[in-house]
Amino acid sequence: MKPILDYIKDPVINDSTEKIDFTEKQIQESYRKLVKLQSKDAIQSKKVQLKSIPKKKLPGQIWLCKHNYVDYLGNVVQGILPYYILIVREPDVLGNTDTEFIRIQPISTFTEFHAFDDIVVADASIIGFPFLIETWNEQPILTSLLEEYICELNVHPNQGSTNEKKKLPFDDDQKKFRALEVNNTSYLRQSVISVLSWLENKQEEKSGVLINLFGKSHYPTKNVVDLLDAEYPVDFEVAAKNGLSNSRETYIFQEKISDHIITITAIKNENKYSVILDQLGESELIDAKGKQIQGIIKNEKQIFNELEFGIYELANKNHTTTIKIRLQ
């Protein structure tokens, strides 16, 4: 079993098995099945046989999850493998974010490692070959990670395996397999962990600003300032004249980049924000849907008004990194 465990630890995602020293025919077949499972072409060809995509995410549904995504804090999260999952709980909402999550159990093609508490599905017609449901690896993920609907499975999530090895001790290979699967699926639950981190660290219960720079999260201190006060620079005044009242929650972030200090100021006006950039040069602000937001330039400062709550990407040709901004 060592070659297949080595593969799970460090997968080779291609159509060849030359990079793995297979010593058993069973292992080679499992690898080929996994490659087939990951194939988008195979999924697309199978979709013609599937029912229409359900309007609701409900227990018993099998989905293929995204292989990579941007989490709630603005970090790019890359999985080792794309995973099929079984939904086991109905959707719920995390805190006051309106962000929906579900509880799932990952699916694996490596039935060689099944134990008494796994659900082994021998019917190859469901997804193309037998598989096991990792009941012991249940975890929460955001519903936004669900990418391709596969089918509905009529199986109870807690029924366990029907094999004869009831409650026998795990052997070493099973223990290693489970440890690797818990690690490999960590990218899925990171979607929820990132939301919980935001809820724990944001400045106010119903509002907050996050700046993600070089993969590190910053939560600027909240201030309440008079935007028309003469001691503040003209960018505050411009923001005030573009629909903001005089006194508003203001978040100011400063950081040294390339031998100069940049300043990002976020000003909240009820359910919208203005973001002001200083010492960044002309930048592009892109929302979560990929739409570029138009800004105005005043006294070498760039201002973006009427921003909805959500996450934005700030790109600048003078800097090699992008900056992510979350507003609530």
pLDDT digits (tens, 9 = 90+) for 48-62: 444 578 888 999 999
Contact between 138 and 222 under an 8 Å Cβ cutoff? The reply is no
Span 107-118, pLDDT tens digits: 999 999 989 889
Percent with pLDDT over 90 in the chain: 48
The answer to whether residues 130 and 238 belong to one domain is: no
Span 200-239, pLDDT tens digits: 999 998 899 999 998 899 999 988 665 555 444 445 555 5
The answer to whether residues 65 and 209 belong to one domain is: no
The answer to whether residues 177 and 63 belong to one domain is: yes
Contact between 308 and 58 under an 8 Å Cβ cutoff? The reply is no
**DSSP tag of 283:** -
Residue 243 has pLDDT above 60, yes or no: no
Residue 64 has pLDDT above 50, yes or no: yes
- pLDDT, residue 128, reads 80
Host H or E run for residue 299? none
The answer to whether residues 91 and 215 belong to one domain is: no
Which structural domain range is residue 69 located in? 2-198
The answer to whether residues 89 and 219 belong to one domain is: no
The answer to whether residues 95 and 216 belong to one domain is: no
Residue 313 has pLDDT above 70, yes or no: yes
Instruction: Select from 165, 198, 231 the last residue of a domain.
Output: 198
The answer to whether residues 259 and 206 belong to one domain is: yes
The answer to whether residues 257 and 117 belong to one domain is: no
- pLDDT, residue 165, reads 46
Q: What is the mean pLDDT of residues 266-288?
A: 89
Residue 90 has pLDDT above 90, yes or no: yes
* CATH number, position 104: 2.30.30.110
Instruction: Select from 170, 198, 226 the last residue of a domain.
Output: 198
Contact between 21 and 5 under an 8 Å Cβ cutoff? The reply is no
- pLDDT, residue 10, reads 60
Bigger pLDDT: 3 or 60? 60
Instruction: Quote the CA–CA distance of 124 and 50 in Å, as a whole number.
Output: 15
- pLDDT, residue 285, reads 93
Residue 161 has pLDDT above 50, yes or no: no
pTM: 0.77
Q: How many domains does the chain have?
A: 2
- pLDDT, residue 11, reads 58
- pLDDT, residue 79, reads 92
The answer to whether residues 157 and 236 belong to one domain is: no
The answer to whether residues 194 and 302 belong to one domain is: no
Span 11-51, pLDDT tens digits: 544 333 333 343 444 444 554 455 455 555 555 544 444 45
Instruction: Select from 198, 226, 258 the last residue of a domain.
Output: 198
Q: With left for phi above 0 and alpha for psi between -120 and 50, is residue 258 left, alpha or beta? A: left
Q: Within a 13 Å sphere around the CA of 162, how many CA atoms are in the beta-carbon half? A: 6
Instruction: Quote the CA–CA distance of 193 and 73 in Å, as a whole number.
Output: 10
The answer to whether residues 169 and 224 belong to one domain is: no
The answer to whether residues 167 and 222 belong to one domain is: no
